[in-house]
Amino acid sequence: MFYLVIVLLNIATILCMQEGDPCTLPNSQQSECRSLLKCPSAIQLIQNQKIPQTCGFVGTVPIVCCILKENSASDTTPTSNKFVSYTETIAESTTHNTALRNIPESESERSDSKNSIVSNLNSYTEKTTGNKSYEKCLEYSNLVKVSQQPPILFIEKEEVEVISCGFKIMPLIVGGVQATRKEFPHMALVGYGSSDDIQWTCGGSLISELYVLTAAHCLDHRQLGNATLVRLGVTAINDLYHRQDISILDRLSHPKFEYPSFYNDIGLIKLAKAAVFNEYVRPACLNLQQNITDTRALATGWGRMDFEGDSSENLLKVTLELGDAVICNKSLNREAFRRKLKEGIVGDTQICAGSQGKDTCQGDSGGPLQIYSKLDCMYEVIGVTSFGKACGIGRSPGVYTKVSYYLDWIEENVWE
């Protein structure tokens, strides 16, 4: 155990480095800090029972010092006693830290320490739910960084990288207000009918260049037919300046969705061409946690302002309280909703949310329920709007399909 602590202390001497920073390996090969999931040379080391040099962590994912150009002669470590030789190399590459090399260890202690660390790192190289989603989330978060000329004079006019964000993280205060431009760049309108008479009756979330996440019941409309068009980049529905209208190539509902039941109410729209990412159009992240600890979340959409009202021309946002499934089931009229949810709300696959006089209304179906991400200027979609009792009547909750439960299905169809 003491040996493990010493190893981690040696590794920790460079934990302040970030993805993209240059780093130095003992063999002096050109290297930079990268996610372990994106570094073949580090994965190879782990498979050979060695520990890669660590730069830091993003969440729980290690950032490692990754060789940029592979060298076939780079791995000359003898096959015997691999762990000791590599940890000694790490120690030599740190600043004046000789503690590791001066502590006598038994072979069993070395083996236990090695297995513990390698086992931890191995967990990130195996196919696990959410790995691909998190990797894409990191990729999309880089889209908020833009190069700008500093507002001062330099001898050499070097550009600097800054965060260009359409919103500021604020406390989530219950109440509905109009969203601002660029605040929710992943928002999508889903339309039905011909281009000269399009009806926008559902929403969705852009999650990649080619895919929009929505509700399964939004893929086709009982009166209007199949969804035909997606509009991106707008807060006002008829904004002419930043919108991207893209035809729908394919619609995919979850295989266990069976209308009129609203269980497994989640679907994917494949676009006929890739969306162009900019300040107004950028994918959202997918939430990976089955147990959501947040108590509030943001719902967004162009839905009706009230039960008998017209749809909003502008994108609206509302903060909702996340409720317990048991409590929410009691607040729903079981007779009225037996056709949609025969067994009531299922906590593993659904979320209920609402506040006094507030919930998402008709027209918001398919849109996101989201929380702030820990990454700069990103949201995590935790739910897909399925249905509500009636727009903001009493304490009626809305029902949302829980995204984390369906990550395997989403990843297989979007990124495989």
Between residues 250 and 105, the one the model is more confident about:
250
Give me the domains of the chain, ranges plus CATH numbers.
2-126 (no CATH), 175-414 (2.40.10.120)
pLDDT for residue 371: 95
Token pair of 219 as six digits? 């893929």
- Ranking 53-57, 277-281, 287-291 by mean pLDDT, the lowest is 53-57
* Tokens of residue 280, six digits: 């107004």
CA angle 77, 83, 84 (to 5 degrees): 85
- pLDDT of the residue at 96: 33
* DSSP designation for 132: H
What is the number of other CB atoms lying within 10 angstroms of the CB of residue 192?
20
Among the options 186, 217, 364, 386, which is catalytic? 217
Residue with tokens 């050109």, as numbered in its chain: 30
**Residues 31, 113, 205, 365: which is the catalytic one?**
365
For residue 197, the tally of other CB atoms under 10 A from its CB is 9
Parallel, antiparallel or unpaired: strands 187-192 and 225-232:
antiparallel
| pTM strictly above 0.75 | no
Q: What is the mean pLDDT of the chain?
A: 75
Mean pLDDT over 88-98 rounds to 33
- pLDDT (mean) for 119-125: 48
- In sequence order, what are the residues at sequence separation of 6 or more whose Cβ sits closer than 8 angstroms to the Cβ of residue 204? 187, 188, 189, 190, 212, 213, 214, 218, 230, 269, 366, 367, 368
Q: Looking at residue 350, what is its pLDDT?
A: 95
The pLDDT, as a whole number, for residue 168 is 57
136 vs 146: which has the higher pLDDT: 136
Q: Is 365 a catalytic residue?
A: yes
To 10 degrees, what angle do helices 107-122 and 82-93 make?
80
Instruction: Give the lowest-confidence range in 2-11, 114-123, 238-247, 337-346.
Output: 2-11
Neighbouring residues of 15: CB distance < 8 A, sequence distance ≥ 6: 54, 55, 56, 57
CA atoms within 13 A on the CB side of 293: 2
Tell me which of 77-81, 209-213, 301-305, 346-350 is least confident.
Answer: 77-81
Reply yes or no on whether the pLDDT at 275 is more than 90. yes
CA 275 – CA 282 distance, rounded (Å)? 9
The whole-number average pLDDT for the span 170-184 is: 70
Q: Which pLDDT belongs to residue 304? A: 55
pLDDT grade for 240, boundaries at 50, 70 and 90: confident
Q: Label the pairing between strands 285-286 and 379-388.
A: parallel
Q: 31, 113, 254, 265: which one is catalytic?
A: 265
Query: What pLDDT does residue 169 have?
Result: 52
